[in-house]
Amino acid sequence: MSRILVNPEFVEQLKEYGHVNVNDCFNCGNCTAVCPLSEGETAFPRKMVRLAQIGAAKELAARPELWICHYCGECSDTCPRQADPGEFMAAARRKAIAEYEPTGLASLMFRNSWVAVLVTVVLAAVLGAFLVSLHPEESPPWLFSLVAYETIHIVGVGALLGFVILGAIAFTRYFTRMIAVYGGWKKLTSPSARVWQATKMLIQDILTMPLHGKCDTDRDPPRPWTSQPRWSHWAIMWGFFLLLTATTLDFLLIYLAGTNFYLPARLSGTVGGALMLWGVIATIRERARAAQEPYQKSVLADWWLLIMLLLLTVTGFWLEIAVTFHWKQAFNDWALLFHTAVAMEFILLTPMTKFAHALYRPAALWVYHLKQAEGTANGTA
Amino acid sequence: MSTEITAGEETERGEAVERDRYDAVVIGAGISGIQSALDLGDQGYSVLLVEREPSIGGRMISLSKVFPTLDCASCITTPKMSAVARHPKVTILVNTEVERVADKDGEKEIELLRKPTYVDNRACIGCRLCEYACPVEVPDRFEQGLALTRAIAVPFTNAIPQKAVLDAEHCIFCGACARACPTDAIRYEQEPRRQTIRAGIVVAATGFKLNVGINKPQYQPKNPRNVISPLQMERLLAPHGPYGRVLRPSDGKIPESVAYVLCAGSRDKSIGVPYCSRVCCMYSIKQAMLLSGALPIADITIYYMDIRAFGKGFEEFYQNAKAMGIQFVRGKVARVNDGPNGDLILRVEMTEEDGRVEERQHDLVVLAYGIIPELESPEQVGLRAGSDGFLARPDSTRPAFAGIEGVFTAGCAAGPKDIVDSIIEAGAAASAGSAYLSQCASKTTKS
């Protein structure tokens, strides 16, 4: 491990990213032991707090534990010093996102909610203007009077490309650093049986999020599944995947291949939209209730992202209804413009917003499972 | 339906209230109150010692041994209790609560509520025949609920006074005690009485209690019978304790693995007790030592955040415990979960090792609850509270001064402290009190 210079100023920097109070921590270990996700050597958040206290910024940003935490808030609820380790973890995640993405936008947006609002509005406006500037053909079919069908696909591919480039840079920065913290690729992946084991566990995590479910195991009284963050989070994630699939299928089957085989895209889009809608509404509801620790610290940007996501989903459904019932209205075209511009913006901004966890969390979980597999291998040997 | 009783009347509860004015009223007859009363009485001041329980002696009389000397607690307390009970200048009122302390004509006026015991103390000879006759079994408060006593009973073996007290809440009024009593001392018709006393000074030695009922779900397993308080462990360890030896409450098993969870109810902002209770580290070490004598093959583990061994001989005591093989694990226990067969599983981060989380099974767990004031709202009785809820102590150069002229504090009433410090403070309160009294006397003479 590289040498770490003690930097007491780091906590001050971190405070710009959230309600950080970790200098009050006296390292009793309550947070780690109360965390349902802390098991054996994968123990957090106290170690992360310690890293922050001594100012080991790079090490902290590289730790997979940041992304294993789903912020159930129990550590903050029970912290004897009210040092709020849960909120600290959230702030450390924001700082890590800002550190890895190449544009510097994330840092600005996380530190000031108004910047986040401004950036999203301006970018959406620029994208919208650009979409409109690519004039539709002479007599466009209804719905596409403002934005042409072809334009959507071409610009969409561009946005996706932008995401891939930005995302790849951010991800590579994170992944190489995380692997280095764990003693290198070779150490982590031998014996190779571990790799398969960890990959299997990762797929399971993505399919049903069992780790996130653990956050609810110790709740007394238990909550109905409808208000468990695991399932709203799951719905948003799968909603997003299915909607992306729908767009991709539409692009491949109809635009590129020129077939009329629209059923798979429509089906995946409808199911995805429904999941997304429920997930977003459930999240907004829980955040508004503010019953749980994490949502007590909501800032404008949190609400803003959720509202944008809700508008995106609602306009998506609006358009689907309009298309299905051939419900011709001038508003449809504006809805399409809004929907397209904001959707593309979301894809482009993913590495710079809290959605960047979609890049980091799978990698962190994979390494987490590699470590766990090592533990069991040693245990049997 | 209360009736005033006048001074000079010999009450049916047996304590002659010679007059309605004393030089000093001491509230609480624990070790601090007893010491203050003795110190004031020895200086020639007349003292009224008021206790709300049926016996004097306070918390200390129920302890097994004291740290760091491992002296027998009752061997120290009983002579003090006896001395104060026989002191010519000290009058004791048990079963009596102080309802209000007020200023009147430069003196203190103290309103007392004398609770009924349903026994005529002039007649009761403490023979316990009523206790043996009573068919109703109730949890024994002196044994911290670990044993049963009867609805009419002498509070405990070495209680002072040795008078029976009837528990009206549980009594079925069957009359068995009245038939058994050889001196016809049972008075079912007794009523509470109010009485007003005037005094030159008040010493508040109202003591502490443990926050056992604390709202911390992480420490509340579904089967909590083997999670006990340190005061319960004191009784288990006492030679005249409820079982005569150390057994765990749920099934009488001899514990093989005992855990102490320190800071279970204090140094914790999340439960509203941010201060240190000051004695838990040491009594846990003491109990662990006594346990390793009582249960030579048991493993004893103390989970701690920091060991605060700050008093004279404390650090040596701690080092001795370590040398004796008592395990010390640094890490705050985050959860006490149910284990198999009534055992408990503690979740703790090994903060001094690699920081891994361990789930450790123990068959008896002692939670070191926090020390909170016994007197919940001092303002209601005319005393001043500090920011921590204990009695106020506004002036660091007058350590026993309670923020109201003529009112002094001693012992845990003003904050958690050990027995030695409590006794020192009781002396300080008596000394400050006597200085105040003599100043008042000289003022009166001048004028």
pLDDT at B15: 52
pLDDT digit string (tens) for A223-239?
A: 888 888 999 999 999 99
State the best of B357, B358, B359 to mutate against chain A, taking most chain A CBs within 10 Å. B357
**What's at B107, amino acid-wise?**
E
The residue ranges of DSSP E strands in B134-253, in sequence order, are: 137-139, 148-150, 152-153, 165-166, 193-204, 208-210, 227-228
The rounded distance, in Å, linking the Cα atoms of B198 and B25 is 8
**pLDDT, average across residues A261-289:** 91
Q: Report CB contact under 8 Å: A29, B270.
A: no
**Smallest CA–CA distance from B330 into chain A, residue:** A28
A131, A155 contact by CB (below 8 A): yes
The rounded distance, in Å, linking the Cα atoms of A279 and A282 is 5
The rounded distance, in Å, linking the Cα atoms of A147 and A133 is 8
H/E stretch holding B111: strand B107-114
The shortest C-alpha distance from B194 to chain A (Å) reads 44
Q: Provide φ and ψ at A311, rounded to 5°.
A: -60, -40
**Smallest CA–CA distance from B336 into chain A, residue:** A34
Question: B139 has which bridge partners?
Answer: B148
Q: Which residue has the tokens 């069957």?
A: B174
pLDDT digit string (tens) for B315-363?
A: 999 999 999 999 999 999 999 999 999 999 999 999 999 899 999 999 9
Q: Which residues of B touch A46 (CB under 8 A)?
A: 349, 351, 355
Cβ within 8 Å of residue A57, ≥6 positions away: A7, A10, A13, A95, A99
Q: Is A183 exposed, middle or buried (0-12, 13-18, 19+ CB in 10 A)?
A: exposed
Between A42 and B365, the higher pLDDT residue: B365
The rounded distance, in Å, linking the Cα atoms of A309 and A347 is 12
The CA-CA-CA angle for residues A252, A258, A262, to 5°, reads 65
State the best of A25, A26, A34 to mutate against chain B, taking most chain B CBs within 10 Å. A34
Name the strands in the sheet holding B227-228, side by side, starting at the edge strand that comes first in the sequence: B227-228, B364-367, B257-261, B299-304, B327-330
pLDDT digit string (tens) for B114-151?
A: 999 999 999 999 999 999 999 999 999 999 999 999 99
What token pair was written down for A101?
A: 């993405």
B198, B104 contact by CB (below 8 A): yes
Size of the A and B interface in Cβ pairs below 8 Å: 73
State the best of B347, B354, B359, B360 to mutate against chain A, taking most chain A CBs within 10 Å. B347
The stretches of A325-356 forming alpha helices (DSSP H) are: 330-349
Q: Is A363 exposed, middle or buried (0-12, 13-18, 19+ CB in 10 A)?
A: middle
The shortest C-alpha distance from A219 to chain B (Å) reads 10
Q: Report CB contact under 8 Å: A34, B335.
A: yes
pLDDT digit string (tens) for A7-55?
A: 989 999 999 999 899 999 999 999 999 999 998 778 899 999 999 999 9
Task: Return mean pLDDT, chain B.
Answer: 93
The CA-CA-CA angle for residues A71, A75, A81, to 5°, reads 135
Sign of the C-alpha dihedral, residues A268, A274, A279, A281?
Answer: positive
**Smallest CA–CA distance from A37 into chain B, residue:** B357
pLDDT at B191: 94
The rounded distance, in Å, linking the Cα atoms of A249 and A237 is 18
pLDDT at B125: 95
Give the 3-state secondary structure of residue B119. Answer: strand
Q: Report CB contact under 8 Å: A33, B333.
A: yes
DSSP B352: T
pLDDT at B393: 93
- Indicate the pLDDT class of residue A185, thresholds 50, 70 and 90: confident
Q: If we measure between CA atoms, which residue out of B379, B428, B425, B433 comes closest to residue B405?
A: B433
Has residue B5 got a pLDDT over 60? no
The DSSP code sequence of A201-212 is HHHHHHHH-HHH
**What's at A293, amino acid-wise?**
E
Has residue B8 got a pLDDT over 80? no
B329, B304 contact by CB (below 8 A): yes
pLDDT at B16: 52
Q: Report CB contact under 8 Å: B218, A34.
A: yes
**pLDDT, average across residues B300-313:** 96
What token pair was written down for A298?
A: 């909501």
Q: Report CB contact under 8 Å: B349, A26.
A: no
Q: Report CB contact under 8 Å: B357, A30.
A: no
Domain boundaries, chain A: 10-100, 113-222+298-380
What token pair was written down for A153?
A: 């696909």
pLDDT digit string (tens) for B391-446?
A: 999 998 998 999 999 999 999 999 999 999 999 999 999 999 999 999 988 887 76
Cβ within 8 Å of residue B7, ≥6 positions away: B17, B18, B19, B20
pLDDT at A376: 61
The rounded distance, in Å, linking the Cα atoms of B153 and B23 is 34
B374, B383 contact by CB (below 8 A): no
The residue ranges of DSSP E strands in chain A, in sequence order, are: none
**What's at A160, amino acid-wise?**
L
- Using CB atoms, pick whichever of A26, A28, A41 lies closest to residue B356: A41
The rounded distance, in Å, linking the Cα atoms of B374 and B388 is 13
B347 touches chain A (CB under 8 A): yes
The rounded distance, in Å, linking the Cα atoms of B30 and B39 is 14
The rounded distance, in Å, linking the Cα atoms of A79 and A10 is 22
B133, B85 contact by CB (below 8 A): no
A120, A345 contact by CB (below 8 A): yes
Q: Report CB contact under 8 Å: A43, B218.
A: no
Q: Which residue has the tokens 């006490």?
A: B336
**Smallest CA–CA distance from A77 into chain B, residue:** B270
pLDDT digit string (tens) for A126-164?
A: 999 998 888 766 666 777 778 888 888 888 899 999 999
Has residue B4 got a pLDDT over 60? no
- Using CB atoms, pick whichever of B218, B270, B349 lies closest to residue A29: B349
C-beta atoms surrounding B311 within 10 Å: 17
Task: Return mean pLDDT, chain A.
Answer: 89
B390, B373 contact by CB (below 8 A): yes
Give the 3-state secondary structure of residue B114. Answer: strand
Map out the domains of chain B with their CATH numbers.
21-116+191-207+374-446 (3.50.50.60), 211-371 (3.50.50.60)
State the best of A21, A25, A31, A32 to mutate against chain B, taking most chain B CBs within 10 Å. A32
B223, B338 contact by CB (below 8 A): yes
State the best of B276, B349, B360 to mutate against chain A, taking most chain A CBs within 10 Å. B349
The rounded distance, in Å, linking the Cα atoms of A91 and A15 is 8
% of chain B at pLDDT higher than 90: 91
Q: Provide φ and ψ at B67, rounded to 5°.
A: -95, 160
Between B410 and A222, the higher pLDDT residue: B410
C-beta atoms surrounding A271 within 10 Å: 16
The rounded distance, in Å, linking the Cα atoms of B178 and B134 is 10
B43, B420 contact by CB (below 8 A): no
Q: Report CB contact under 8 Å: A218, B357.
A: no
Q: Which residues of A touch B357 (CB under 8 A)?
A: 32-33, 35, 38-40, 43
Q: Which residue has the tokens 């994968």?
A: A42
H/E stretch holding A199: helix A193-208
Q: Report CB contact under 8 Å: A30, B347.
A: no
pLDDT digit string (tens) for A67-123?
A: 999 998 899 999 999 999 999 999 999 999 999 999 999 999 999 999 999 999 999
Between B7 and B329, the higher pLDDT residue: B329
Helix axes B280-294, B314-323, angle to 10 degrees: 40
Of the listed ranges A94-103, A175-184, B11-20, the least confidently predicted one is B11-20
The rounded distance, in Å, linking the Cα atoms of B84 and B97 is 19
- Indicate the pLDDT class of residue A2, thresholds 50, 70 and 90: low
H/E stretch holding B72: strand B71-72
B400, B432 contact by CB (below 8 A): yes
- Indicate the pLDDT class of residue B2, thresholds 50, 70 and 90: very low
Q: Report CB contact under 8 Å: A46, B218.
A: no
The rounded distance, in Å, linking the Cα atoms of A74 and B334 is 10
C-beta atoms surrounding B200 within 10 Å: 22
For the domain spanning A10-100, the CATH number is 1.10.1060.10
The rounded distance, in Å, linking the Cα atoms of B167 and A345 is 75
pLDDT digit string (tens) for B220-243?
A: 999 999 999 999 999 999 988 999
Has residue A3 got a pLDDT over 90? no
The shortest C-alpha distance from B307 to chain A (Å) reads 12
- Using CB atoms, pick whichever of A26, A40, A77 lies closest to residue B357: A40
Q: Which residues of B touch A43 (CB under 8 A)?
A: 349, 355-357
B351 touches chain A (CB under 8 A): yes
What token pair was written down for A78?
A: 């029970």
- Indicate the pLDDT class of residue B12, thresholds 50, 70 and 90: very low
pLDDT at B139: 96
The shortest C-alpha distance from B116 to chain A (Å) reads 43
- Indicate the pLDDT class of residue A187, thresholds 50, 70 and 90: confident
**pLDDT, average across residues B23-35:** 97
H/E stretch holding B23: strand B21-27
Q: Report CB contact under 8 Å: B348, A46.
A: no
- Indicate the pLDDT class of residue B3, thresholds 50, 70 and 90: very low
